[in-house]
Chains A and B, each alone.
Chain A
Amino acid sequence: MPEAMERRPRVLVVEDEDSIAIALDFIITREGYEHERIATGNGALDHIRKTHPDLVLLDVMLPEVSGYEICQGVRLDPTLSHVKILLMTANGSAIGMRKGLAMGADGFIAKPFELAELKKEVRRLLTAADNGAPGEAGR
């Protein structure tokens, strides 16, 4: 556990819109996490396989490859089981949320969301990752 505490959790933001990506970069860094961003869905899955982030902040509407597809790809890969996914979508309907969770997302927030809501979800998922997979977290 102490070993895990030493390493800063790594958050990958997959988001094509620059404005929110800039804001998220700033906020995530301020929260004390390591931050990385890619702007298209294409290649996102490979990037995740390579870097094994602790949390992927994933926009659903992406050019080329949709967020759902990336989500399904991560969940079908057993080596990525510790990677948590927080879906961000502009479709806030109940059915949209069910679809997100069914596709394997660990959390779901609808745009526009508040900072407090985002921070709470991110913290919840990273804590769960620590508790749920302590061994992997130190890898």
Chain B
Amino acid sequence: MVRPAKPVDDWDMQMLRKLSLRTRILLIFAGLAAGAVVALVAGLWLGHRRLGSPDTVDAFVQAGVIAGFLIVGLVTLVWYLFDLNVAKPIDVLAGALRARTHADAGGNLDAAVARYLGDLAPAATAAAATLRETRSALAEAVARETLRLGQENARLETLLSDVPVGVLLCAGDGQIAFYNASAGETLTTGASIGLDHKITDYLRAGPILMAYDRLMRAGDADAASDLICTTVDGARVMAVRMRLMSDETETRPGYVLTLRDVTTDLAARTRTDALLAEIFDRLRRPVANIGMLMAAEPETGEPVDTALRAEVASLAAAVTDLADRHDAKRLEGWPIAMARASDLLDALKARLSNAGIDAEIDAAPLLLRCNGYDLIALIGGLCSRLAETAHRHLRISIGEEETGAVVRLVWEGDPLPFAKLERWLAEPVDAERPQLRLADVIVAHATDIWPERLDGNHAGLCLPIREARREVGRPPPIVRKVVHDFDLLSQSRSAKVADTRLENLTCVVFDTETTGLLPQQGDEIVQIAAVRIVNGRQVDGEVFDSLVNPGRPIPLSSTEVHGITEAMVSLAPDVDTVLQRFHHFARGAVLVAHNAPFDMEFLRRHEKRIGLKFDNPVLDTVLLSAVVYGQHASHSLDSLTDRLGITIPEEARHTAIGDTRATAEAYLKLVQILKGRQLTTFGDVLVEVRRHGRLLADLNTDEAIQK
């Protein structure tokens, strides 16, 4: 393709643009002068030719020189004035504006310089002033936020440093980016902990990497993995919870570890377990011996003989009963979380295929209470030993059984001799932990293992797991109940409600669903939901949401609106109980509702019976909407949220909690708009709202506001 040649005049224009304004104007005037002189010379020359007399040359030349000088002088004068009053001021203004745009130059523009430029100088001055204000407001806001973030950061660090649980933040490759005092203490064994060191320098890598892989595979940002892990030297045992830090930009996101040192707990537990086991073992035998010896003796019918036999029988019964009770509670309080059967077998399969063992896995959808890492080490260890005895193709399954589960290892061939199994169980779990035998893992899980013969030339090993439950999907993400608002610390809490700024009000936004619209005729609440707003934001973890048994039928027409049936509320607490709880939830807060008089009526009719008063200050989003949009607009929740750009998910509409959240969002936005109208305190808004009193009754008594 041939590129078209660039036109020459275009190039000239580019050159011109590069010159400064004043030079260009100078060139224009110089061109004007030159053009005028050339025109003059040409005119005189033409006149001289037409006259045809050579002796007039001198006169023509003289006239030309004088006219030429005059023209040049005049043009120079005009140029000079233009340059002084137009071009130069424009340059100065432009320079000053640039200075204010790019650098943060202050001060007013010199208006005198540009007095012949009409409104340009004042306009530029105004623009510069606005720019300066915006810039300093922004800088102030940034400084304020930075300071606030810095303070929150410092407070969080203080908090984290004092919590007795170890908290560590690690990058995806395991480098420690943060640790609190407690984590430092627990992990410092010999080598002291340091930022940028790897977590696996302190904690055994296996369980950490396994948990990380599991979380990565789960792909659920809210999932957490609980694991048991020892320090590298094996001296201390930690119960660890791992949570990935959701960061879409990282392929290997970092993670948070919370550590609890369970060494002493576990050791004490193990000792108690061993002691109890010995107690029962050493009681069972002699009691059995005495019982049988007594039974061997013929009964004499003597009172002493009869009493002795009764005592022995009751001793035997007591030992059996106590042992059974101990057996049923073996895992109670074991600090071990549930592990997914499929996760266990996936990890096991990976481990086995590394060792060149082909395993077929089959996991029922179960969660097992087990120390996942140790259990995998146990089963893996057994598989490796089986593979050495020519059972290279193994099938490993986890199935449901009674209240627990059972792990089965199946192969084709003869059953494993019991003596051989016993020998294997006496061997260490892995080379790193020579003191931990396979049998110890079994004892720690309060279970046993045995060989079995199965149908069709198959044999296996059977390992029951005491506690398991069915998997019901991934559990829903738990709202992280980190509930904090440090601004509460700095507010003077004594300000009366009327003087409180709207954004500082603690509000409880609530909504009720009812059996009907007529509380006077006995309609009742069937559901009540509320959220708390503290310092201008919804507090995620602080939610009230309860069904209420209205003690009367729910008409079908109402069920069609809110979807709540009589069956759903049959086991719900009654209205008095729920309102007492709600009263507690709303203590000291301003109540906010959409069409508050309706909901308040339902609350207040029970005040006497429950002995509590709902005398909180009340704000009605209908009235706030009327203040903002005028009385004639539609103030339904749908119209209001629509105007404010808030969407209520269809499935949440007409559920108490869905409407509550929407009302809360609408309230927060309305507060911002009211602030823009200089209605900043509760009192200001109340005065304004009362002007709309004709629209709806205001529910605030003077006492409520003074509270």
Q: Tell me the A residues contacting B by CB distance below 8 Å.
A: 17, 19-20, 22-24, 26-27, 30, 65-66, 68-69, 72, 75-76, 88, 90-96, 98-99, 102-103, 110-115, 118
| Contact pick for A90, options B281, B296, B450, CB 8 Å | B281
Contact of A113 among B280, B288, B453 (CB under 8 A): B288
Taking a contact as CB atoms closer than 8 A, the residue among B316, B415, B450, B466 that contacts A76 in the complex is B415
Q: Which residue of B lies closest to A96 (CB)?
A: B448
B245 contacts the other chain (Cβ, under 8 Å)? no
Contacts of B422 in A (CB 8 A): 66, 69
Q: What is the bound-complex CA distance between A98 and B447, given in angstroms?
A: 11
Q: How far is the CA of A66 from the CA of B281 in the complex (A)?
A: 16
Using Cβ atoms and an 8 Å threshold, which residues of chain A touch B289? 17, 19-20, 23
Are B450 and A103 closer than 8 Å at their CB atoms? yes
Interface pairs (7), CB distance under 8 Å: A24-B292, A68-B450, A69-B419, A76-B415, A99-B450, A110-B284, A113-B291
Report the Cα distance A90→B422, complex, angstroms: 19
If A20-B292, A23-B292, A115-B295 touch, whether A110 touches B320 (CB-CB below 8 Å) is yes
CB-defined contacts of A96 to chain B, threshold 8 Å: 448
B418 interface residue per 8 A CB criterion: yes
Shortest beta-carbon distance from B187 to chain A in Å: 37
- The docked-state distance in angstroms from the alpha carbon of A26 to that of B422 is 34
Q: Which residues of A contact B292 (CB under 8 A)?
A: 19-20, 23-24, 27, 115, 118
**Residues of chain A contacted by B327 (CB below 8 angstroms):** 92-94
Question: 0/1 per residue, B382-425, Cβ < 8 Å to A?
Answer: 00000000000000000000000000000000010111001000
Contacts of A23 in B (CB 8 A): 289, 292-293, 295-296
Other than the given A103-B418, A103-B450, A110-B284, 7 more pairs (CB < 8 A) read A20-B289, A69-B419, A72-B417, A99-B450, A113-B316, A115-B295, A118-B292
B293 x A114 contact (CB < 8 A): no
- Given A23-B292, A99-B450, A103-B450, A112:B418 Cβ within 8 A: no
Please tell me if the beta carbons of A111 and B450 are within 8 angstroms of each other in the complex: no
Distance between A87 CB and nearest chain B CB, rounded to angstroms: 12
Are A95 and B324 closer than 8 Å at their CB atoms? no
Q: Are B293 and A22 in contact (CB under 8 A)?
A: yes
Instruction: Indicate the size class of the contact surface on chain B.
Output: 20 to 34
Q: Is the interface of B mostly helix, strand, loop or mixed?
A: helix
- Is there contact, CB below 8 Å, between B464 and A112? no
Q: Which residue of B lies closest to A92 (CB)?
A: B323
Q: Determine how close the nearest CB of chain B comes to the CB of A22; give it in whole angstroms.
A: 7
Assess whether B284 is in contact with A112, with CB atoms less than 8 Å apart.
yes
Shortest beta-carbon distance, A86 to chain B, in Å? 14
A29 and B447 alpha carbons, distance in the complex (Å): 37
A residues within 8 A CB of B323?
92
Q: How far is the CB of A118 from chain B (nearest CB, A)?
A: 8
Task: Compute how far the CA of A102 lies from the CA of B133 in the bound complex, rounded to whole angstroms.
Answer: 86
The answer for the CA separation of A16 and B288 in the assembled complex, in Å, is 14
Closest-CB distance, B397 to chain A (whole angstroms): 16
* Residues on the A chain within 8 Å of B281, using CB: 90-91
Instruction: List the 3 shortest-distance A-B pairs measured between CB atoms, nearest first.
Output: A23-B292, A111-B288, A112-B288
Smallest Cβ distance from A131 to chain B, in angstroms?
A: 24
In the complex the two chains form, is B418's CB within 8 Å of A66's CB? Answer: yes
Return the CB mask of B265-296 against A: 1 if under 8 Å, else 0. 00000000000000011001101110111011
A23–B316 alpha-carbon span in the complex (Å): 16
Q: Is the CB of B450 within 8 A of A115?
A: no
Could you say which residues of chain A place their CB within 8 Å of the CB of B25? none
Minimum CB–CB distance from B15 to chain A (whole Å) comes to 96
- How far apart are the CA atoms of A99 and B449 in the complex, in Å? 7
Q: Are A111 and B287 in contact (CB under 8 A)?
A: yes
Does B545 interact with chain A (Cβ within 8 Å)?
Answer: no
Does A27 contact B296, Cβ atoms closer than 8 Å? yes
Pairwise interchain contact A98-B464, C-beta atoms closer than 8 A = yes
Judging by beta carbons under 8 Å apart, are B284 and A27 in contact?
no
Residue among A23, A24, A75, A91 with max Cβ neighbours from chain B (10 Å): A23
Q: Which chain A residues lie closer than 8 Å to B288 at the CB level?
A: 20, 88, 90, 111-113
Q: Is the Cβ of B284 less than 8 Å from the Cβ of A72?
A: no
Tell me if B284 and A90 are in contact (CB < 8 A).
Answer: yes
> Which residues in window 442-465 of B have CB below 8 A to A?
447-448, 450-453, 462, 464
What CA separation (Å) do A81 and B22 show in the bound complex? 119
Determine whether B319 belongs to the interface, using a CB cutoff of 8 Å to chain A.
yes
Tell me the minimal C-beta distance from B541 to chain A in angstroms. Answer: 41
Residue B313 interfacial (CB < 8 Å)? yes
* Complex interface: chain A residues within 8 A of B293 (CB): 19-20, 22-23
B285 touches A111 (CB 8 A): yes
- In the complex the two chains form, is A112's CB within 8 Å of B291's CB? yes
CA distance A114 to B309 in the complex (A): 11
Given the known inter-chain contacts A66-B422, A112-B320, A114-B316, please indicate yes or no for A72 contacting B415, CB distance below 8 A: yes
On whether the beta carbons of A26 and B450 are closer than 8 Å, the reply is no
